[in-house]
Every structure is written in structure tokens, then in C-alpha cells.
Structure 1
Amino acid sequence: MKQSILKVHPKDNVLVALRDLQADEQVHYEGVNYTVTEFIPAKHKFAINTIAQGADIIMYGVLVGKAQSEIQAGGLLSTKNVKHAANSFLTEGHHHEWHTPDVSNWKDRTFNGFHRADGSVGTANYWLVIPMVFCENRNVEVLQEALVKPLGYGRKQVYEVKAQQLINMVQKGVSVDEVLYTEIESEAEGEKTPKVFPNVDGIKFLTHEGGCGGIRQDAVTLCGLLAGYITHPNVAGATVLSLGCQNAQVSILQEEISKRDANFSKPLYIIDQQKTGKESVMIEQALRQTMAGLIQANQNERKAAPLSKITIGLECGGSDGFSGISANPAIGYTSDLLVALGGSVILAEFPELCGVEQNIIDRCVDSEKASRFTSLIRTYAQRAEEAGSGFDMNPSPGNIKDGLITDAIKSAGAAKKGGTSPVVDVLDYPEKVTKPGLNLLCTPGNDVESTTAEVGSGANVVLFTTGLGTPTGNPITPVVKIASNTALFNRMSDIMDVNTGGIIEGDETIQQAGERILDYVIKVASGEIEVSAVSHGQDDFIPWKRGVSL
């Protein structure tokens, strides 16, 4: 018989409902009987014993809240009776002993990727078109319209065909009800032009709202992020459009590129509109240079590479009460496997490390890394409070509805993505990963901003867990969507890639799921599997603007 409840950690004083529990229902776990006193929705928690007002709420073995009022044994934990609370932390860490997982079955595995001159290996091969400032966004969009479909990178025009069917109906004078309810062809599909450059996965256009107007630090940070994309192993080269007078000067971009790759040799074409003159001249020059770049990019072919050349970004979004006990620990085990194989992993989303800071500090390889992490997270928290917010306001309405009622509960589960390996480096946004092992990257908890940052720091695959469902993707790096529960995987099968619901249902262990995910990553990295976000053209790109606007 499958379990109805789960105790995540021996020290916990709450249990997780794995299915809806009715009032007065008796449930059993590890030989102990429990009676719930009210309806407990699946994914939510109830008290093991009566919790007094002001007493600690413990989950994942850590403090995740305080009781605002007495909670009876078997009673539901909610935002009405629990408030956020988290353990304090010290700068100094304690010795962390890591039990390296057995990777004997993986040590000879390889993936087929695109080898770059700097020694990195891409899981894809893209050409970029980037504006230095938002003033150039329209010119970028003109180039996008001119290039994407003719070169064979346009998506199948299913919805254009369906829209045309509806337009035809309107032109015939049909009623509103007929437009709303008449069935149209479900498999309608337009023709797709063959790729002109078969070894190039696509041209990506990274429009944004930055480059000028904010403080100068914003411009430098943006240039660092753009440099991270230009030097990224998944990128063959880039066309850059500059207005000329913006804060984000080309010279800053070039300096940031040199920081990341001192011997940068990819084709890079930079066009300054104020020097070029007429728009028509600029666009034609951009078209010619981009086409020349694509010819060079097409010369790259996939070749075998060791798994140590994979850098995984770890992300969660639309999390639910199952995320921290299925999908997140599963990719945490995947992370540990990759680290043991010499690869790199990026754990970001600093607001979602609230309450587990001491554990992170204890895992840092030296006091310098621990001090930097402490400084970054304290500064971030202080700035949030100065803005009238705080980490305690991190859970979204969707998180709360599905059982993540405090930031510490959400964070304790989110941190499971990082596995158990030592922290080898601590990076501030948008610094580049240079060390194999687990790297911390300071980013917000916002899904797209954090994913954008992880890729800018070098992630050539992103593992993205979700319990509620989200379409988030990235222009140049495959984002693997991992469902925390089977109901979500089935309901949103068009945007989900991997299901870890078997962990909740008792059909699979965390270790088994982690190994299955690593095997999936290898196939994605080799171009054998196209993840849903890529097939849907979900090219989300949002730089993090940390400063005020002037």
C-alpha cells in the first residue's frame, strides 16, 4: 500500500500529505497512527503533536516558521497560523564531509557537442544578434523578420493557419457563437523552409530594455551578461548593434569579453548606427555580416566530449509542496553525479536559500568562499528590506496555495537542487563559472532573470523543476522541464520533459530519478532530444537590473 503521508526529516514536527486527507481520517507512517482534525489538501502539512503559540515549526530538519497560534495535533499549517522564521547563521563554517556517489557506470560516457577554441564544449550552436541598448531593439526585430523564416528557423505556422480559418469564417459573416465554438482543424500546419545552415541550430535575437538611463553600474553589468552570452560555448559568434551614445559602450563589452576569454576568436561583427548613418545602410551591413558569420558557424560539427564539459544550471519555478521532496532532490542527486564526474553545477536564486545559509556555509571549501556568500546574501536581504520587502515575501500566491506557506519552507526544499557536494566557488552576478564542482551564483528568485543569469555564467544545460507548470526557456541553452508530480506532467505534457512523480507514488527512489535525469541530460547535450522549451521557441531573456534609475 502506497504511503499517504511523509516525514521529510527525523527532526520534523510536521508531516506532508501526499494526497487529500479528510477530516478525522486516520493515516499511518512508519508504524505510527495519526488522525487529521480537518481537511488537509495534498502537498500541505499538518502538525504531528500540538504546537504551542510561538513554538518552532521544523521541516527538512530546520526552522521554517513560528506558530502564530496554537496548532492542534493533526491540524493544518496555513498562513493564518504560521509565520516565516529561519535560523540565524555565522560566517565561520564547520567541516563538511562529502560522500561521493558511485559514478563507475558513467565515467566512460561522453556527449556529442560543439568544441570551441577556449576548450569549452557547447550543447548547441547558435548565432546571436544583440543590441547594446533598447534603442536598437527595432532594428534587431527588422533583422529577425528578414532572416528567421528564409533561413529555415521559423516555427511551424500552426496558429497562423488556424487564425486564417477563423478569418475566413468572419469574412463569410458568421455569428459570434460560430466563431467561438465551431471546430477548426486541430492538425493544421504550414510549410517549414529547410535549414540553409544545417549545423547551426538557429539565430537568436536578445532584445532587452537596458543599456542606458540607469546608473553606470547597470551598463557594466549588462555588458558582462552580454559578454557571457557571446563567449558561451553554445554560441558560434554574434552581430552587435550599437546606437553609439549609450552608457553600455562597445569598449565595455569588449573588456568584459576579454575577462571571460582572453584569446577570444569567434566571429564578432559590431555596427554603430550613428557612424553608419542611414538605417538601410546599417541593416544591409548587418545582413551581410550575419550571413558571413553563419557560413563560419556552419563549419562546426558535433564531436565526442567528456561529461566534465557539461555545466548544469539549477532552477525551480512554479514550485509546489512536492518540489522539495521529489524533483529538487532528484536533480540534487544528478548534480552530485556530475560533480563527481568533473562537471560544473550552478545553484542560484539567493532569496531561496533563506534558512539554509549555515548548511551552505558549512559546505564551502574555505573561509573566503563562506565569507563572500555571507556578504552577498546579507547585502541582498538588506537591500530588499530597504525597498520595503524582504525574503519572507518571496513565496508567490501559487506557492502558498500548494503548501509553500513560508519562504523558509520554500527555500529548504529549493536548496535540495544543489545536492550535497562542497561549494567550490561563490560568484556575483554576472560572473563566469571557472571551477568544476558546485558554484553559487547570486541571482534573484525570479525564474527568467535567474535562468538568464545561469546561462550567462556558462550553463550549457538548465534543469528546471516545477510543481505548478511554467513554459520558461532560454534562447541558447536547452531548459529541461522537470515535473514534481504526475498530475502536472500529464496535464501539461506539451511543455514538460521529465516526470519525477514516481518518487511521490513510491515507484522510484530519488537516486534512480537522478540517474535517469543525467542520462536524459546527456541525450539533450548531444542533440538527440529537443526539449519542449526549444521546440516551442520559448526564448526568455531578462537581464537583472540591480541599480536605481537616474
Structure 2
Amino acid sequence: MKHLVAKIHPQDNVLVALTDLPIGTPVTWDGTTVTTTERIPAKHKLALEFLAPGDPVHMYGVLVGKAREAISVGGLLTTANMQHATDSYDEHHQRRAEWQAPDVSKWQDRTFMGYHRADGSVGTSNYWLVIPLVFCENRNIQVLEEALVNNLGYARRKSYQPQTQALLELMQAGKSVEEILATDLHSAEINQQKVKPFPNVDGIRFLSHEGGCGGIRQDAQTLCGLLAGYITHPNVAGATVLSLGCQNAQVSMLQDEINKRSPKGFDKPLFILEQQKLGTEETLVSMALRQTFAGLMQANQLQRQPAPLSKLCIGLECGGSDGFSGISANPAVGHVSDLMVALGGSVILAEFPELCGVEQELVDRSVNPATAERFSSLMKAYGDSAVAVGSGFDMNPSPGNIRDGLITDAMKSAGAARKGGSSPVVAVLDYPEPVTQPGLNLLCTPGNDVESTTAEVGSGANVVLFTTGLGTPTGNPIAPVVKISSNTALAKRMPDIIDVNTGTVIDGEETIEQAGERILDYIIRVASGEEVAAVRHGQTDFIPWKRGVSL
């Protein structure tokens, strides 16, 4: 049965509207009835008690803000009458409790069909990479993409050129502006899909970027670390790297970073070409084509084989969040996180600006003081860097977040953190460090969707769970990004980008645990080769983080 409102934690003093509530609507929760004093839009919050100026506002059992002015019982919380506020935390004072792992007996013997690598890792996909070490090579990367993708059957984007041709023909036939605007062009669409000569290779990915030179030397080192994370990734069969030769991001730097991530030795095909040594563009491109084609022939020899679920590394991400994200999609993903940890897999929770206000909980869940202190140190350094340029974590919520009920960063963070479930924090990683331990890992990244997703995959995620309440098409070049809707209206409105709907929790049709188990079933299918929406659309977003302030 669907309720009108929800109270997330017993200590909360606000309710979440699950549907639009007109003024004067009586709502009841746990025997307490409140009447709305103004219209409360779905996803927004109403006061459960009178709030005087300065009074704390609690959601998810934590402080998420304070009243700027008096808010009546049943009144709407807004950016005008409420401001961001969080509790302080102490990394030296941990209150660890024994974790109660969920029952995973039904999953214990499940497997997925993955690509087994020599180092023991298992990929959910099998891609070939073409990478520039510096932005100067982006044009040559584009030339290679034009030469390879269509001819080898890897073009994924629908072609709209026939629609342009149809419009041109209408204009030449003397049609008016009004007639052209009224024309249905769907019949002109052609989806040009060729047969792939390399059926065991999922695609060729081209990681263009704007880094590699200029800036500071640390930027080049960080970029090389990220690129090494992609080259050594279990979803990657091999790579072609283009270097100009004189840039900050030297080939030796990249090779050092690859070696750091390959304790058992790196044995994938890797072709590195330096333009200033080879000479002409034609020489460079021709050699790159031959080597890449030979690499694809090698990569095509690999086939999917059964692998235990412990070989999965799941990235947790949210973007375009709304007021339902923290009570449907995120906690459902949190249950998946706990299931994966109990099965011996790895999980990555990132987006440090969106952990603001829940630091003490994560400190308390850290497996030892050193882990807690590293998390605290990275959080404080990140926050201080934002303040130093006149910003702060409080400026994180986007206009879309605010419009749909997330009116303070602490409120957004408290819901976002639920993606991490309740398991112990086994490691804290600084960007772009790799995951080396099973369990819940915290990774320092921005809240920016693409920067954070790019980082999680670079650290080893071979599947990413991406929750959204507003609709975000983000994908990744090498890892499937599963889009999880927080509400049913979004899933119906944008079915072309949504893979899983957890609006069923809001609708009263499913529990959080049931939704989480349904997501895990879907992950197993995706890890075995079922395509997600972002892959079907050719959505391959890749944005390295330069370690500047990005919220």
C-alpha cells in the first residue's frame, strides 16, 4: 500500500511527501497526524514539529540543516527557510559495532560469464583501448576512430543523417517552414549496424581528454595513473597509446603506473607510438591501424567463462538525484553493496562532497584508526580547498536537485551515502588509486557524475550502479553503467536510458531488500554480457579529474 508520506529514521523531525499534498491535507505516521499548512510537492519535506530559527533539522537520523526562520508544523522546508548544517566528527573516536552481514546463501553458488585475465581478475566486457597521452594527439585519435569503428561494426549511435537528407529534399520540393516543422521523420531513420569480424571483442574505445601537458606535473602523474587503471582493467584486452613525445605525461611515467597496478606482471598487448619519432601523420596512423588490428585478433581469442560473484567490483554512483533517491534507489543499491561484500566482492563508494554530514558514521565503520584518519584527512583537505576558492560543500546541490527536494548538501549527502550499505569500510583510496581489497572501499572523487564514474572504473569497478531521480544518460567507455530510477514516473518518461526502476519502493509494491535482490539479479546478467541502455546508445563519457575544486 502506498503511503502519502514517509519518515526515514525515528529521530527525524521531518516527513517526506510521497505524492503532491494540497494545503490542508492531514497525513499520519506512527499514530501522529499533521495537517499541511501549504502545498507540499512530492519529494519535498514538511515539518513534523514547530521549528524556531536556529532549530536543527534531522533526516536519516543526522543533522541536515537548521531553520533560518520559523517553520510551522506541516510547513514546507525550502532554501529560503532552511540552511545547510552538519554535525562535527572525530576520527579518533570510533564506535564500531559488529556488522550483521545479510544472508547470501541463495547467491553463494551463482556465477557470471566473464573474461578471465592472467592476473586472476575477471572482466565483464572485453574492450580494446586507443589512448592519447596528451591532448595534442586527440585529432589522430579521431582519425583512427573514423577508420576503425564503422568498418569493424562497432558504430553504436543511431544515424540521423537520413533525417537531414529528408529535410533537404522537402525544402528542394518547395515545402514551407510550417510543413517541414510538421513532418514526421521517424520513417527516415536508419540504424546502420554491420556484422562484427571480432565477435568476442565488445568494442574499441577512444579515451580523448584535455590533459597530459601544461598545468602542473602532478596533473600529468595523476592522468597517467588513471590511464594505467584503464589499461590494466579486467574489462580491457589491450591498448594502443599515442604519444607526441615532448609532453609532461611521458611514456615512462605511464609505464611506471602500469607496473604499480600489475604486481604479477603486465602481459596484455600494449602498443605505444610516439609521433615525433615516427614523423608523418600517415606513418603514425598506418602503424597504429596495423597494430590495433593485430591486437583485436588476439583479443578475439578470449571467450566468456564462469566466474564467482566475488570477482565483481561494483562502483556506486548517483547523478540527477531527487528527493526519492535516498529512500528508494540508494538504499536498494546499499543492500546490493552489503550482499556483494558478504559474497567476497569489492564495492566503491565515492563522491566525497556528497559524504558531508555522514563522516562520523563512516569513521565508526572503519576497520581501524588508520583508515578512519585517512578518510578524515582527505575529507578535510577537500573541504578546505573548496573554501579557499570561495566555495564549499554547501554549494553542491544543483538546481535540479533543489527543485526536486534536495535543498541542502547535507540532506543530499545523507541520502547518497546510503548506497554504501552498512558494511565496514576496509580501505580509503585517494584518486586514482586502485582497489586491492574485497569489501567496501571509499574513493576520493568529486560529486560530478562523469568525473566520479570515470574514477571508479579507473580504480577497478567492472560494473557501475548509477542511481538517478531526474534522468542522466551517463555511460563509461569500458564498464557497463546500470541506470536505476528512484521513481516510476522517470522510468516511464525516459525508458531509453533507465535499466532498473526502484520507484516500486515508493509505490508500495516492493521492499528495499526485494528491490536490491532484483538489482543483483540484473547485475549478473549484465556481467555476463547483457547490454545496458548506455552501451546501446554508445554513451562513453570519460572526464579525468585534475584535482582542482569540483563539486
C-alpha deviation, 1:293, in angstroms: 0.4
CA contact (8 A) 2:159 2:192 kept: no
Tell me how far apart the structure 2 counterparts of residues 40 and 390 of structure 1 sit (CA, whole Å).
29
Q: Decide whether the 8 Å contact of 1:214 with 1:547 is kept in 2.
A: no
1:314-329 alignment to 2 at 5 Å?
A: 314-329=316-331
**Following the alignment from structure 2 to structure 1, what is the Cα–Cα distance between the partners of residues 367 and 547?**
28
Give the alignment of 1:260-271 within 5 angstroms. Answer: 260-262=261-263, 263-271=265-273
8 Å CA contact retained: 2:2, 2:507: yes
Mapping of residues 468-487 of structure 1, within 5 Å: 468-487=470-489
Residue 101 of structure 2 aligns with an amino acid whose one-letter code is T
**SS at 1:409 equivalent:** helix
The one-letter code of the counterpart of 2:428 is: V
Match 2:414 to one of 412, 415, 424: 412
Q: Please tell me whether the aligned partners of residues 473 and 540 of structure 1 are also in contact (alpha carbons under 8 angstroms).
A: yes
SS in 2 for 1:333: helix
Paired residues of 1:218 and 1:547 also in contact (CA < 8 A): no
Aligned partner of 2:70 in structure 1 is 70
186 and 13 in structure 1: CA distance in 2 versus 1, 3 angstrom threshold: farther
Which is further off, 147-156 or 2-11?
147-156
Encode CA deviations 1:199-226: one digit per residue, 9 max, x unaligned.
0000000000000001000000000000
Q: Tell me if the contact between 2:159 and 2:191 (Cα under 8 Å) persists in the aligned partners.
A: yes
Q: Aligned in 2, Cα 1:187/1:173: closer, same or farther, shift over 3 Å?
A: closer
CA distance in 2, matches of 1:439, 1:197: 35
- 2:58 equivalent in structure 1: 58
Give me the whole-angstrom Cα distance separating, in 1, the residues matched to 2:192 and 2:10: 58
Q: Does 1:172 align with 2:158?
A: no
> How far apart in 1 are the matches of 2:298 and 2:185?
43
Superposition deviation, residue 185 in structure 1:
3.0
**Matching residue's letter, 1:318:** G
What residue is the counterpart of 2:545 in the other structure?
Answer: 544
Partner of residue 197, structure 1: 198
Equivalent in the alignment of 2:388: 386
What do the CA deviations read for 1:52-96 (whole angstroms, capped 9, x no partner)? 110100111100001000100000000000000001000122223
Query: 1:277 aligns to what?
Result: 279
Q: TM-score, normalised by structure 2?
A: 0.98
> Is 1:243 the equivalent of 2:244?
yes
Structure 1 stretch displaced more, 39-48 or 185-194 = 185-194
Partner of 2:234: 233
Q: Is the 8 A contact 1:96 1:422 kept in 2?
A: no
Instruction: Give, in whole Å, the separation in 1 of the partners of 2:119 and 2:280.
Output: 37
Larger displacement relative to structure 2 (413-422 or 28-37): 28-37
Provide the rounded CA distance (Å) in 2 between the counterparts of 1:268 and 1:462. 26
CA contact (8 A) 2:116 2:123 kept: yes
Within 1, Cα distance between the matches of 2:190 and 2:337? 39
SS at 1:315 equivalent: strand
CA deviations on 1:503-535 (whole Å, 9 max, x unpaired) are: 0111100000000000000000001x2100000
Which residue is equivalent to 1:375? Answer: 377
Counterpart selection for 1:458 from 452, 457, 460:
460
Q: Which residue of 1 aligns with 2:106?
A: 105
User: CA deviation digits over 1:305-345, x for unaligned, max 9?
Assistant: 00000000000000000000000000000000010000000
SS in structure 1 of the partner of residue 160 of structure 2: helix
Structure 1 distance, partners of 2:188, 2:113, is 33
Is contact 1:222–1:543 with CA below 8 Å preserved after alignment?
Answer: yes
Unpaired segments ≥5 residues, structure 1: none
Partner deviation per Cα, 1:254-296 (whole Å, 9 max, x = no partner): 0000000130000000000000001100000000000010000
Q: Which residue of 2 aligns with 1:216?
A: 217
In structure 2, which of residues 337, 340, 343 is the aligned counterpart of residue 341 of structure 1?
Answer: 343
Does the CA contact (< 8 Å) of 1:100 and 1:336 recur in 2?
yes
Letter in 1 for 2:459: S
Is 1:254 aligned to residue 261 of structure 2? no
Per-residue CA shift, 1:24-56, capped at 9, x if unaligned?
111122222110000000000010111111010
Is the 1:156–1:192 contact (alpha carbons within 8 Å) kept by the matching residues of 2? no
Structure 1 letter corresponding to 2:482: V
More displaced 10-residue stretch of structure 1: 208-217 or 169-178: 169-178
CA contact (8 A) 1:132 1:248 kept: yes
8 A Cα contact 2:482 2:532, kept in partner = yes
Q: Which moved more, 1:185-194 or 1:197-206?
A: 185-194
CA contact (8 A) 1:427 1:441 kept: yes
Q: Tell me the distance in 1 between the aligned counterparts of 2:242 and 2:312.
A: 31
Q: For 2:309 and 2:371, how far apart are their aligned partners in 1?
A: 26
Aligned to 1:128: 129
Contact 1:223 1:252 in 2 (8 A): yes
CA shift, 1:97, in A, is: 1.9
Q: Secondary structure at the match of 1:481?
A: strand
Q: Which residue of 1 aligns with 2:83?
A: 83
Distance across 2 between alignment mates of 1:100 and 1:267: 40
Query: Would you say 1:492 and 2:470 are equivalent positions?
Result: no
Partners of 2:157 and 2:537 within 8 A in 1 = no
CA contact (8 A) 1:158 1:187 kept: no
Q: Is the 8 A contact 1:215 1:547 kept in 2?
A: no
AA aligned to 2:464 is V
Structure-2 separation of matches of 1:500 and 1:531 = 16
SS of aligned partner of 1:174: coil
Distance 2:304 2:55 in 1: 58
1:188 aligns with 2:189: yes
Specify the code of the residue in structure 2 equivalent to 1:446: N
Q: Using the alignment, how far apart are the partners of 1:533 and 1:456 within structure 2?
A: 18
The alignment partner of 1:416 has SS state of helix
Distance 1:2 1:352 in 2: 29
Contact 2:65 2:408 in 1 (8 A): yes
Give 1:186 deviation, angstroms: 4.2
**Contact residue 3 and residue 29 of structure 1 kept, 8 A:** no
Shift of the alpha carbon at 1:487?
0.2
Match of 1:16 in 2: 16
1:526 matched residue in structure 2: 528
Instruction: Give the whole-Å Cα distance in 1 for the aligned partners of 2:48 and 2:128.
Output: 56
Looking at structure 2, the residues matched to 318 and 512 of structure 1 have their Cα atoms a distance apart, in angstroms, of: 24
Paired-residue identity, %: 69
- Match for residue 46 of structure 2? 46
Q: Deviations over 1:319-374 (max 9, x none)?
A: 00000000000000000001000000000000000000000000000001001000
Aligned residues: 547
Matched residue, 1:503: 505
The separation in 1 between residues aligned to 2:476 and 2:275, in whole angstroms, is 28
Shift of 1:425: 0.4
Runs of 4+ in 1 over 6 A off after TM superposition: none
Q: Is the 8 A contact 1:318 1:399 kept in 2?
A: yes
CA contact (8 A) 2:70 2:81 kept: yes
Q: CA deviation at 1:156?
A: 5.8
Q: Distance in 1 between matches of 2:249 and 2:151?
A: 32
> Matches of 1:513 and 1:504 in 2, distance apart?
11
Structure 1 CA distance, aligned partners of 2:388 and 2:2? 48
Looking at structure 2, the residues matched to 489 and 226 of structure 1 have their Cα atoms a distance apart, in angstroms, of: 34
Is 1:304 aligned to residue 320 of structure 2? no
In 2, the alpha carbon distance for the partners of 1:454 and 1:155 equals 24
Distance 1:270 1:10, change over 3 A: same
